[in-house]
């Protein structure tokens, strides 16, 4: 039996059981995460992809996609190597 990971649950009830995340992400949840991420970046709370990954309980790729989605929405998000955090250029 494969290792279910830290946040996965086993779903019974079919001939082919599947592993599912206990908190599936739909469009509404995704938009709420984006709004919260923007708020955190504006307040200076996000210190890199690792912080996003831990705060939103996702992988590095998803964290990078969240930042890319903010950029695609027209928000001028940048990462400062000197300050080691994301910021929004006004």
**Residue 45 belongs to some domain of the structure:** yes
Range of the domain at 34: 25-88
pLDDT tens, position by position, 33-69: 999 999 999 999 999 999 999 998 888 998 999 999 9
What is the value of pTM for the model shown? 0.71
**Residue 7 belongs to some domain of the structure:** no
pLDDT score recorded for residue 59? 87
End-to-end distance of the chain based on CA atoms, in angstroms? 51
The angle formed by the CA atoms of residues 80, 81 and 86, to the nearest 5 degrees, is 35
CATH number for the domain that contains residue 49:
1.10.10
pLDDT score recorded for residue 26? 81
Domain count within the chain: 1
Pick the more confident residue, 74 or 24: 74
**Residue 79 belongs to some domain of the structure:** yes
Residue 19 near residue 7, CB atoms below 8 Å: no
**Residue 13 belongs to some domain of the structure:** no
């Amino acid at each position: 039996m494969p290792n279910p990971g830290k946040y996965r649950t086993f779903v019974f009830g079919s001939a082919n059981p599947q592993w599912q995340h206990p908190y599936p992400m739909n469009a509404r949840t995704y938009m709420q995460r984006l709004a919260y991420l923007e708020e955190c970046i504006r307040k200076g709370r996000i210190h890199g992809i690792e912080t996003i990954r831990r705060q939103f309980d996702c992988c590095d790729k998803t964290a990078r996609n969240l930042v890319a989605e903010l950029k695609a929405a027209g928000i001028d998000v940048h990462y400062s190597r000197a300050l080691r955090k994301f910021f929004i250029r006004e």
